[in-house]
Amino acid sequence: MSNIKMITLNVKGINHIIKRRKIVSSLKKDRVQIALLQETHLTDSEHLKLKRDWVGQIYYSSFNSKSRGVAILIHKNLPFTLNTIVRDTDGRFILITGLLYGEQILLGSVYAPNTFDRSFYSNLLAKTSSVCPNHVIIGGDFNCGLNLGLFDAWRVCNPHVKDFTFFSRPHFSFSRIDYMFASRSVLDRTRGCLINTCAPSDHSSVSMELLPPYYDPLSRHWRLNPALLSDPEFVKYLEDQWELFLSTNDLPGVSASTLWEAGKAFLRGSIISFTSAKKKSTLAKQLVLERDITNLEREFKKSSSVSVLKKLDAARSGLDQLLPQKAETAIFYAKHRLFESDKGTQ
């Protein structure tokens, strides 16, 4: 049995394809199954482009390409069946209800106005109440709590911890404005709720893990990533491996068909070994930078030191230079699949 991992994050605009890929790749790395995003700054058509890779379902409310916008991303392997959608026409919130593992649930992503707006909260509460089942999870960027029989999941799970989700540079102050609100029935299954560092955004994410009624993993099939073929190091490695295979297996009495089938299996194992080593190396660098950012962020919250802030900015910059490499690889792979699809329809 595996937990369901959810996250809420103000992405501060993902209309640039590289940053969009960074966010989606980061969520995949963290094995997020439901993502509640705010300030996407995407139009309807751009929102739909998020439905790729691990994302099987997407629900959103758009405003324009420069402000607002919220979305809910659901993993393709998560058994969620949609019932209703409630969209705010101003791109402030999206609410959906449906069946998750056979149980009725409401999921919501909210981006509240920067200043308290009574009419906004009245509208949100009215819309939520009209479709509210027993299981409710609403995440987002708020300026006040909700009085709807919901609980601040992070505070319930961390009653004695002091932490923040946002640092205002103009005011040089910290605040906790990003929340994950949950009903009592959801809290009973909650295994933890954390505030996490997110380098591509100036907000920290809030994640929680839930225990589902059951878990049914789906099988996966190996496929060659064609982006590897543009890597000279990989091509040289593949050539050497093929020469090694032929030198030991191209013997008298071995048919061409047998040699080829065995060669494919050998190359597949060699490719998996190469990509695994490369991923481990890149991940190791990423984890070191993320750990440094977390430690520096914690130190900065305590000291508010300008020198620590400079170190934090340098660490973020290092991670920012590393992540585009992964994003560009994902973009290349997506273009390749689109090319193959178009070629097949001609």
Q: Which residues are annotated as a binding site for Mg(2+)?
A: 10, 39, 141, 143
Closest CA to 27 of 5, 49, 1, 45: 5
| Torsion angle in degrees (nearest 10) through CA of 243, 248, 250, 251 | 160
What's the rounded Cα separation, in Å, for the pair 68 and 251? Answer: 66
Exposed / middle / buried, residue 69 (Cβ in 10 Å: 0-12, 13-18, 19+):
buried
What's the rounded Cα separation, in Å, for the pair 123 and 118? Answer: 9
What's the rounded Cα separation, in Å, for the pair 138 and 128? Answer: 10
Cα angle for residues 155, 148, 57 (degrees, 5° grid)? 80
Tell me phi and psi for residue 51, to 5 degrees.
-85, 80
Tell me phi and psi for residue 50, to 5 degrees.
-75, -15
Alpha-carbon separation of residue 165 from 31, 34, 198 (angstroms): 21, 19, 10
What's the rounded Cα separation, in Å, for the pair 189 and 134? Answer: 13
What's the rounded Cα separation, in Å, for the pair 3 and 16? Answer: 32
Q: Which pair of structure tokens corresponds to residue 343? A: 């070629």
Q: Which residues are annotated as a binding site?
A: 10, 39, 141, 143
Closest CA to 286 of 311, 262, 322: 322
